[in-house]
Structure 1
Amino acid sequence: MLFFDISDTSIEAIRLSKSFLTGEAVTAFNRSEFKNGPIEEGEIKDKNALKKIVVDLLKNAKPKPMKDRECAFTLPDKRVYTHRFALSQKHDSQTVFSLIKSQAEKLIPQPIEELTYNYLILGQKKEGKEEGEILLAAVPTVIINGYIELFNDLGLEPKLAVPESVAAYSFLSPLIKAGGAVLYLDVGEKITTATLMDQQGVVETFSEPVQTDKLFAQIENLFAFACTQIGGCIKQVILGGGGSLTAKPAEFESKLKVSVISAEEVFKTFKLPIKVNFGDLSKVTFVNVLGLALLSGQEQPLNLIKT
Structure 2
Amino acid sequence: MFLNKPTAFSLDLSDLSIKLAWLKKTGQQLSLVSFNRQEIKDGVIERGAIKKETELIELIKKTVIEAKGEKIKTRHCIVSLPETESYIRVIQLPKIKDEEISEAIKWEMEANIPVPLDKIYFDWQVVTGEGSASDHISVLIGALPKILVDPYLEVIKKAGFKPLAFEIESIATVRALVKDEKCPDPIMIIDLGARRAGLIIFYCDTIWFTAGLPISNNDLISDIAKAFNINQEKAKKIKFNDGLDAKENPKAFSAMEPRLAELVLEIKKYFNYYQTTNLAKKAAKTNISKILLCGGGANLKGLGAFLSSHLNIRVAIGNPWINILTQSSDRLPIIPFDKSLTYTTALGLALRGLNSDIN
Query: TM (normalized to structure 2)?
Result: 0.73
Inter-partner Cα distance in structure 1 for 2:82 and 2:195: 17
Question: How big is the shift at 1:173?
Answer: 2.0
Partner of 1:259: 314
1:290 maps to amino acid: L
Query: 2:202–2:209: 8 Å Cα contact kept in structure 1?
Result: yes
Q: Does 1:218 align with 2:266?
A: yes
Partner of 2:36: 30
**Are the structure 2 counterparts of residues 24 and 260 from structure 1 closer, same or farther at C-alpha, using a change threshold of 3 Å?**
closer
Inter-partner Cα distance in structure 2 for 1:103 and 1:117: 12
Inter-partner Cα distance in structure 2 for 1:173 and 1:23: 18
**Are the structure 2 counterparts of residues 147 and 294 from structure 1 closer, same or farther at C-alpha, using a change threshold of 3 Å?**
same
SS at match of 2:175: helix
Structure 1 residues 1-20: aligned runs within 5 Å: 1-17=8-24, 19=26
**Are the structure 2 counterparts of residues 91 and 111 from structure 1 closer, same or farther at C-alpha, using a change threshold of 3 Å?**
same
Partner of 1:91: 97
Deviations 1:228-262 (A, max 9, x none): 22322322111111011124323321111011111
- Greater share of strand: 1
Structure 1 residues 192-203: aligned runs within 5 Å: 192-203=197-208
**Are the structure 2 counterparts of residues 208 and 111 from structure 1 closer, same or farther at C-alpha, using a change threshold of 3 Å?**
farther
**Are the structure 2 counterparts of residues 168 and 242 from structure 1 closer, same or farther at C-alpha, using a change threshold of 3 Å?**
same
Partner of 1:164: 169
Structure 2, unaligned stretches of length 5 or more?
1-7, 130-135, 221-258, 281-285
Q: Does 1:233 align with 2:233?
A: no
Query: 2:85–2:145: 8 Å Cα contact kept in structure 1?
Result: yes
Query: 1:44–1:147: 8 Å Cα contact kept in structure 2?
Result: yes
Is 216-225 or 168-177 further displaced after alignment?
A: 168-177
Deviations 1:251-306 (A, max 9, x none): 32111101111112x53563588886125971111111111222345589xxxxxx
Inter-partner Cα distance in structure 1 for 2:356 and 2:336: 33
Inter-partner Cα distance in structure 2 for 1:86 and 1:288: 28
Query: 2:172–2:348: 8 Å Cα contact kept in structure 1?
Result: yes
Partner of 1:270: 324
Is 68-77 or 243-252 further displaced after alignment?
A: 243-252
Question: How big is the shift at 1:177?
Answer: 4.0
1:226 maps to amino acid: Y
Deviations 1:79-131 (A, max 9, x none): 21111112321322x2121112111111111000101111111126xxxxxx7
Deviations 1:23-43 (A, max 9, x none): 764210001223414111111
Q: Which has the larger radius of gyration?
A: 2
Question: How big is the shift at 1:208?
Answer: 5.2
Partner of 1:72: 78
Structure 1 residues 118-137: aligned runs within 5 Å: 118-123=123-128, 132-137=137-142
Is 167-176 or 94-103 further displaced after alignment?
A: 167-176
Query: 2:29–2:325: 8 Å Cα contact kept in structure 1?
Result: no
Q: Percent identity?
A: 24
SS at match of 1:277: coil
Inter-partner Cα distance in structure 1 for 2:53 and 2:34: 24
Partner of 2:88: 82
Q: Does 1:139 align with 2:144?
A: yes
SS at match of 1:206: strand
- Greater share of helix: 2
Inter-partner Cα distance in structure 1 for 2:337 and 2:317: 18
Inter-partner Cα distance in structure 1 for 2:74 and 2:355: 20
**Are the structure 2 counterparts of residues 268 and 165 from structure 1 closer, same or farther at C-alpha, using a change threshold of 3 Å?**
closer
SS at match of 2:271: helix
Query: 1:164–1:288: 8 Å Cα contact kept in structure 2?
Result: yes
**Are the structure 2 counterparts of residues 236 and 279 from structure 1 closer, same or farther at C-alpha, using a change threshold of 3 Å?**
closer
Q: Does 1:184 align with 2:241?
A: no
1:165 maps to amino acid: S
Inter-partner Cα distance in structure 2 for 1:275 and 1:253: 30
Partner of 1:290: 347
Question: How big is the shift at 1:159?
Answer: 0.7
Aligned length: 292
1:293 maps to amino acid: A
SS at match of 2:141: strand
Inter-partner Cα distance in structure 2 for 1:247 and 1:101: 45
Inter-partner Cα distance in structure 2 for 1:299 and 1:17: 13
SS at match of 1:244: helix
RMSD: 2.8
Inter-partner Cα distance in structure 2 for 1:247 and 1:59: 34
1:244 maps to amino acid: A
Question: How big is the shift at 1:176?
Answer: 6.5
Inter-partner Cα distance in structure 2 for 1:297 and 1:132: 31
